[in-house]
Amino acid sequence: MKRDLTFLLIALAAFLICNAAPVPLAHDYACGPFLSIQPYYIINTPYNIRTKVSNVGSSAETNVPIKFYADGSLINTINLSLAAGGVDSVTNPWQTAVPGNHSLMYVSALGTDMDRSNDTVRLSVNVLNGPPPRLCPFVCEAPVTYTPIAGNPGPTGDDAGITAPIGFTFNYIGHSYTQVWICTNGFIQMGPTGSTDYLNRLCSAVDTNLIAGFWDDLNTNNGGNIQYLTTGTAPWRIFTVQYTNVAYNSGTGNVTFQIKLFENLGNGQIIEIIYGPAVNNPSSTGSIGINAAPDVYGLSISSITPGTSCASTTSSTSVCNDTVQYNLSSGTHYHYCEFVGIEPNGNAIPTDYSLSQNYPNPFNPTTIINFGLPKAGFVKLVVYDILGRTVATLINNESKEAGNYKADFDGTNLASGVYFYRIESSEFSSVKKMLLIK
């Protein structure tokens, strides 16, 4: 009986020790997490970089230096005083003229800090040359400034076309292209040859891989011209095809617009259509959208009210609409985006978050990573080496709809060894290991 009582007391003591609240250290300041993280950052644009700061120690602290670093350089120091258990935040302005990945960091520099593991918080941000589309795959946005180009002469005449060099490799619907076909009838197609069809049929099974700025029976013999030009430096080049006052084959009026292919904006490549001033022909209608068989994205209404934001009067649809009237406000623009290597994997909406083991594993040099999102939100998917260094950012805080996805990872430029991939969202994070063998 006495022995049983002794065991019971020992077990009770162990339980109380294991479940007792941890005693805070006398001096302990913590930084993180970052607050108000942007889904993307743009060059030459000021941002307020903010982090949470906590006094998790048992002593009040006065004038503790909170240091802000960008790419390893100290930018600013803010002194912060907090009572024991107190929480606050600090903010520093930051901007850069250099696109690409940048490292931001906050460090609490309490001289008597007794736990250095929570002093530092880091954030890797991808800075873009310009804003990516807010939605995928085809969305109309409010007017911007239409800026004409002076480029190489394009096709001329009625139902004519030419092949033009893009100036870089453009990935579109799983294929790579270095040339584009420009047709006088208001569209371009990927590849060296294409259609001269004047019957605007966005759902055509023949006229595929087609981007229609305003697909109709147009004719430069009746007025206007077409030009193309590649601008910028790698990996941020832009290929532009410009239709300037190109006339209808019959009747009055003309159309002015640009179709742009972006080499690399964020983690993917983007198509943009921007409209300039033009004289509308009320009797003639055309197609605006994408025919990337088997997917078609066009406008879901037959006309657009001049002078209004297209975002309030149009929407993207997979149902073909070939009766859009050219009465667009100058500067109205559309975005189509295809994030390279990231694509939906099936139509079912998962009930839980998931990150699957890559397949194949081991791999050489490519592998596939599947993940599931039960709800829409911002997602980050990063690959690290065994030392914790980032070797690839497959998704960088991008907005994703609920669904199942697959991401392609290419380790061609990496050495054999163990790597880790981590997914993060607002409600889920997970890490898995993979092996590259060459």
Q: pLDDT tens across 40-64, in order?
A: 678 888 888 999 999 999 999 999 9
What is the overall mean pLDDT for the chain?
81
Quickly name the fold that domain 342-436 has. Answer: Immunoglobulin-like (2.60.40)
Angle made by CA atoms 290, 294, 297, in degrees to the nearest 5: 30
Contacts of 218 (CB under 8 A, 6+ apart): 184, 185, 186, 198, 243, 246, 247, 248, 249, 255
Task: Look at residue 143 in the predicted model and tell me its pLDDT.
Answer: 67
Which of 257, 311, 322 minimizes the C-alpha distance to 289? 322
Rounded average pLDDT over 140-167: 89
Asked if residue 350 lies in contact with residue 404, where contact means CB atoms within 8 angstroms, the answer is yes
Task: Look at residue 361 in the predicted model and tell me its pLDDT.
Answer: 83
From CA 239, how far away is CA 262, in angstroms rounded? 7
pLDDT level of residue 7 (50, 70, 90 thresholds): low
From CA 243, how far away is CA 215, in angstroms rounded? 11
Rounded average pLDDT over 61-84: 96
Rounded average pLDDT over 25-54: 85
pLDDT-above-90 percentage for the chain? 34
Q: Is the dihedral of CA 249, 251, 257, 261 positive or negative?
A: negative
Q: Which of 41-50, 111-120, 197-206 has the highest mean pLDDT?
A: 111-120
From CA 303, how far away is CA 314, in angstroms rounded? 9
- b/e for 89-114, b at 16 or more Cβ within 10 A? ebebebebeebeebebbbbbebeebe
From CA 64, how far away is CA 109, in angstroms rounded? 6
Beta carbons within 10 angstroms of residue 195's beta carbon: 20
From CA 338, how far away is CA 190, in angstroms rounded? 14
Say whether the peptide bond before residue 33 is cis (omega within 30 degrees of 0). Answer: yes
Task: Look at residue 303 in the predicted model and tell me its pLDDT.
Answer: 39
Name which residue leads in pLDDT, 405 or 308: 405
- Residue 358 is classified by DSSP as P
307: pLDDT strictly greater than 70: no
Say whether the peptide bond before residue 235 is cis (omega within 30 degrees of 0). Answer: yes
Is there a common fold for 29-128 and 342-436?
Answer: yes
Q: What is the pLDDT of residues 287-300, one digit of tens each?
A: 888 876 555 656 54
> What is the token pair recorded at 394?
């497959």
Angle made by CA atoms 120, 125, 129, in degrees to the nearest 5: 155
Please identify which residue in the block is written with the tokens 């667009």: 328
Which of 169, 197, 201 minimizes the C-alpha distance to 183? 197
From CA 175, how far away is CA 190, in angstroms rounded? 9
In Å, how far are 126, 175, 236, 390 from 123, measured between CA atoms? Answer: 10, 33, 23, 12
Residue 404 — φ and ψ, nearest 5°? -100, 135
Which of 337, 349, 293 minimizes the C-alpha distance to 170? 337
Asked if residue 220 lies in contact with residue 242, where contact means CB atoms within 8 angstroms, the answer is no
247: pLDDT strictly greater than 90: yes
Which amino acid, one-letter code, is at 195? S
Q: Is the dihedral of CA 189, 192, 193, 198 positive or negative?
A: positive
Beta carbons within 10 angstroms of residue 137's beta carbon: 17
Query: What is the residue-wise DSSP string for 215-236?
Result: ES-BBGGGS-EEEEEEES-TTS
Asked if residue 384 lies in contact with residue 394, where contact means CB atoms within 8 angstroms, the answer is no
Domain residue spans in the chain?
A: 29-128, 138-338, 342-436
Question: Is 3.30.450.20 the CATH classification of the domain at 29-128?
Answer: no
Q: What is the pLDDT of residues 385-396, one digit of tens each?
A: 888 888 888 887
134: pLDDT strictly greater than 80: no
Task: Look at residue 114 in the predicted model and tell me its pLDDT.
Answer: 92
Q: Is the dihedral of CA 187, 190, 192, 196 positive or negative?
A: negative
Name which residue leads in pLDDT, 354 or 66: 66
Which amino acid, one-letter code, is at 77? T
> What is the token pair recorded at 78?
């803010």
Q: What is the pLDDT of residues 361-380, one digit of tens each?
A: 888 888 889 898 888 888 88
From CA 325, how far away is CA 100, in angstroms rounded? 40
135: pLDDT strictly greater than 50: no
256: pLDDT strictly greater than 90: yes
From CA 260, how far away is CA 272, in angstroms rounded? 5
